Amino acid sequence: MNKHIEKYLDNLRDTLSELDKSTIQDALSNAEDHLTAALQFETEENPDTPSEVIVSSIIEKYGSTDEILEQYSDIEEITTPVFACSPKKRSGGFLGFCEIVAEPKAWASLLYLILCSATGVVYFTWAVTGLSLSLGLLVLIVGIPISLLFLLSIRGLGFVEGRMVEAMLGVRMPRRAVTPGEGENWLEKFRIILTARNTWTTMIYMLLLMPLGITYFTLIVTLFSVALSFIGAPILQQLGHVSVNQHVVWIPFYAMPLVVGIGGILIVLTLHMAKVLGDFHGRFAKIMLVG
């Protein structure tokens, strides 16, 4: 990378330090891609002009670091993730506690946590298989490009996962994929990706998502099954006896509202748990997936 562009990016990073980490990553990636492409184009069009002059010109056209800060601050105000917005103020007491049933973020978190059991298996399988294959082939020259493709796929899957986290958990994540070493040869790209923190934290995230996903799925399915069994038991009783472990369970008529109420409370508690776990997982994903 041109040293003048690199210096501009360092200054831009310092200027944007008050913004969200994901916003900074997007801004730096956009700036690097634009300035690198513009430098290549202008150099080809004006081969006799010194590169310092060309770089100064394209940086001036792109904007000062303070101007970029103002632009991205405005963008963030109007592109806040849907579920990042605070829900309307709830009523007090038990009624307010139950209002989570009408909160979209709670249901979105619930759905994401259930999906983790499937995506976690896919990510784990891909990471373990790719890592084993790459390490096994590194003794051959063909192992380097294969390893490069595998590491690029890890970063690509990390980007896709980040978009899911932002859409369903409301956590601001990078909105563009980063291509390290743009314009460099494949050996330099391999070195950059291999030494990047984000590459390895993303891989660790993929390995951890399977046990986390299984845990989330087990908790949610178990609680929902118990809740629905309490709610459905009085209805099933009217159709026929409800048996548990080959023993007939008969719910007195006066106890039916209490049984249904317990089931409803369990659903409310499950949604509260899903929202808390979703917030936790969103923060964890941001630490691991954002460079």
Residue-by-residue pLDDT tens, the chain, 291 positions: 678 888 889 999 999 988 889 999 999 989 988 888 888 888 888 878 888 888 888 988 888 899 999 999 888 888 888 776 656 666 667 777 888 998 999 999 999 999 999 999 999 999 999 999 988 888 888 888 888 899 999 999 999 999 999 999 999 999 888 776 655 667 777 788 888 888 999 999 999 999 999 999 999 999 999 998 888 877 777 676 555 444 556 667 777 778 888 889 999 999 999 999 999 999 999 999 997
What whole-number distance in Å separates Cα of residue 135 and Cα of residue 176? Answer: 29
From 44, 79, 114, the end of a domain falls on 79
From 15, 45, 79, the end of a domain falls on 79
* pTM of structure: 0.84
75 and 89 in a common domain: no
Residue among 153, 174, 281, 261 nearest 217 (CA):
281
The neighbour count for residue 237, using CB atoms within 10 Å, is 16
113 and 42 in a common domain: no
Q: What is the pLDDT of residue 49?
A: 82
The CA–CA distances, whole Å, from 98 to 53, 103, 113, 276 equal: 64, 10, 21, 15
- Number of domains present in the structure of the chain: 2
133 and 105 in a common domain: yes
Chain center to CA of 21: 13
Range list of H helices, the chain? 3-15, 21-45, 51-62, 65-78, 93-98, 104-137, 143-169, 186-195, 197-239, 256-289
277 and 144 in a common domain: yes
Q: What is the pLDDT of residue 180?
A: 67
52 and 7 in a common domain: yes
160 and 36 in a common domain: no
DSSP state of 282: H
What residue numbers bound the domain in which 101 lies?
85-291
Residue among 83, 113, 120 nearest 278 (CA):
113
269 and 175 in a common domain: yes
Is the distance from CB of 156 to CB of 203 less than 8 angstroms? Answer: no
CA atoms within 13 A on the CB side of 75: 15
CA atoms within 13 A on the CB side of 23: 23
Is the distance from CB of 272 to CB of 90 less than 8 angstroms? Answer: no
Transcribe 206-249 into DSSP letters. HHHHHHHHHHHHHHHHHHHHHHHHHHHHHHHHHHS-EEETTEEE
